[in-house]
Amino acid sequence: MSGKRKGLILIERVLIWALYSFSGFILYTNQGILPTFIITFSRIIYPLSIFWLQIRIKKRTNFLPIDSKMTTSQLWFNLLPVVASLLTVIFSLTNTFLYILEKLINS
């Protein structure tokens, strides 16, 4: 049972990373469908979000490691990568789905 579970987790991760990589390919090779400032933000943060997400997944830590003893700068240092990465994931996937939808409608 443990082998099946690990295989399923591996397949899920490969599919998620393949979709996210494809969305990055669409983001960098084609003109974006979303507004220009969102595309520019996504193009800047996209590589950083890959590294940040991989580190979080590998360490199996909380996405928001917030403690009541943290200073304001520590809190922002933990929050900004999370917010930027989540926005980049949302924007790049939305851009990909809109791109695919546009190609399906126009063909």
Give me the pLDDT at residue 67, please.
76
Domain containing 89 equals: 2-106
Query: CA 79 to CA 52: how far, in whole Å?
Result: 12
| pLDDT band per the 50, 70, 90 thresholds, residue 63 | low
Give me the pLDDT at residue 95, please.
93
Residue 66 has pLDDT above 70, yes or no: yes
Q: Stretch 39-65: mean pLDDT, rounded?
A: 79
The three-state (H, E, C) secondary structure of 35-51, written as one string: CHHHHHHHHHHHHHHHH
- The dihedral region occupied by 60, where left means phi > 0, alpha psi between -120 and 50, and beta the remainder, is left
Whole-structure pTM value:
0.79
CA distances 47 to 5, 34, 41, 51, 85, Å, are 29, 19, 11, 7, 10
Give me the pLDDT at residue 60, please.
67
CA atoms in the 13 A half-sphere facing the CB of 98: 14
Both structure tokens of 93? 């996937």
Summarize pLDDT for 1-39 with one digit per residue, the tens. Answer: 577 788 888 888 889 889 989 999 999 998 788 899 999
Query: CA 105 to CA 101: how far, in whole Å?
Result: 6
Query: CA 62 to CA 23: how far, in whole Å?
Result: 25
Indicate if the alpha-carbon torsion angle 58, 51, 88, 34 is positive or negative: negative
Give me the pLDDT at residue 61, please.
65
| Total count of domains within the chain | 1
Q: Stretch 36-56: mean pLDDT, rounded?
A: 85
